[in-house]
Amino acid sequence: MSWVAVALVGAAVSALVSVFDKTVIHRYARTPLTLPLLIGVMQTFVGLALLAIVRVPPSASLEPVLWALVSGAVFGLSAQFLMRVLYTHEVSRTVPVFQSYPIFTAVYASLFLGERLGAQEWGAIIAVVAGAALLSVRKGAAQHRFSLDKAFALLIVGSAIHGSAHVFGKAAVDELPVLFTHALRSIALGGVFLAFNLRRRPLADVLLFVRKRSPALRFVLVNEVIIASVGLLLMLWALSLGPASQVTALSGARVLFLVAYSTVLALVWRGALGESTTLGAIAVKLGSTALIVGGVAAIALGSG
């Protein structure tokens, strides 16, 4: 199968992960650490179970194993910023800003690897930043002035950190089997989530879910064990087949799927996910998302 098709299917699946995450946050979680704690438990379980099945391949060497672990840890660290903002903000405005991470790969390459960026790449970077900023603009009711949402800075920091996760993942999957790499990444990702979120209040929240047999547990179980695992595996598969920069660019299509999913859900079920469904809000989301996806694609295709 073409790496382009694999990457696009992976983007569509990954967008579903964000919808399920926001459902749990919006309807059930009482603290911003509750969902990350559940994810940490589930991802650690998935990683250990998969590792027990696939075993360590005889050809595995230390360096790619470390890259796989670093990729998962960086992924987990960056996701902390995303989860924190997702607790209080619309998913269709949060994820597209976070999904601008490929621009940081281009900037890193320019600053540290001596790669030159042309007018097309810089124009694309401006488009991505403009789209991300537009999604984070809020209008004050009292002052009738526009201001940049404070969460924008958190998302950009998280995106900057996340920019390296796919690079480390590509270095690992070039030498290791996809399933083994995924197992290592899940263990590292889960460990980071547990380290940051294993606290008294979110733990009490999770125990309450268990006692009441809350639907939140089913949402997280299906999302992390099935949907998220499939999405991560598809992106690793795409990385093993194609160039990292272009695979990463196509992963940006996730935001288009996400805006479509969340908007349809919000229109069918009023109040679902806490999304705004005014024509103006939908138009801003679609226009901003198109800017981000177009800019990310131009950066990656120009460097491919």
The reply to whether 224 falls in a domain is yes
The answer as to whether 110 is a domain residue is yes
What pLDDT shows up at residue 140? 47
Give pLDDT tens digits for 176-220.
998 999 999 999 999 999 999 999 999 999 999 999 899 989 989
| CA 275 and chain centroid, separation | 19
Structurally, the chain folds into a number of domains equal to 1
pLDDT mean across residues, the chain: 79
Confirm if 223 and 20 have CB atoms less than 8 A apart. Answer: yes
Q: Look up residue 266 and give its two tokens.
A: 């919000």
- % of the chain residues with pLDDT over 70: 72
pLDDT value at residue 260: 77
Question: Domain for residue 62, yes or no?
Answer: yes
Confidence of residue 235 (pLDDT cuts 50, 70, 90): confident
Q: How far is CA 174 from the centre of its chain?
A: 22
pTM to 2 decimal places:
0.75
Residue 41 pLDDT class (50, 70, 90 cuts): very high
Residue 80 falls inside a structural domain: yes
Taking residues 40-46, report their average pLDDT.
Answer: 93
% of the chain surpassing 90 pLDDT: 26
pLDDT of residue 268: 72
Integer-rounded Cα Rg, in Å, for the chain is 19
- Tell whether 300 is covered by a domain: no
Q: How far apart are CA 257 and CA 40, in angstroms?
A: 25
138: three-class secondary structure by DSSP: strand
Give residue 25's pLDDT band: very low, low, confident or very high (50, 70, 90): confident
pLDDT at 113 over 50: no
Cα 19 to Cα 223: distance, rounded to the nearest angstrom: 10
Specify whether the CB–CB gap between 124 and 298 falls below 8 A: yes
Confidence of residue 143 (pLDDT cuts 50, 70, 90): very low
**Which residues share a beta bridge with 126?**
none
In a domain, 301, yes or no: no
The residue type of 253 is A
pLDDT at 76 over 70: yes
Q: Could you identify the residue written with the tokens 């009023």?
A: 270
Give a yes or no: residue 253 inside a domain.
yes
C-beta pairs of 48-54 under 8 Å, 24+ apart in sequence: 48/183, 48/187, 50/179, 50/182, 50/183, 50/186, 51/180, 51/183, 51/184, 51/187, 54/177, 54/179, 54/180, 54/183
pLDDT of residue 23: 82
CB 159 within 8 A of CB 78: yes
Q: Which pLDDT value is given to residue 85? A: 85
Q: What beta strand segments (E) does the chain contain? A: 137-139, 146-148
pLDDT of residue 295 exceeding 80, the answer is no
Question: Domain span at residue 288?
Answer: 3-294
Q: Taking the CA of residue 75 as centre, how many other CA atoms within 13 Å lie in the half-sphere pointing to its CB?
A: 24
In a domain, 299, yes or no: no
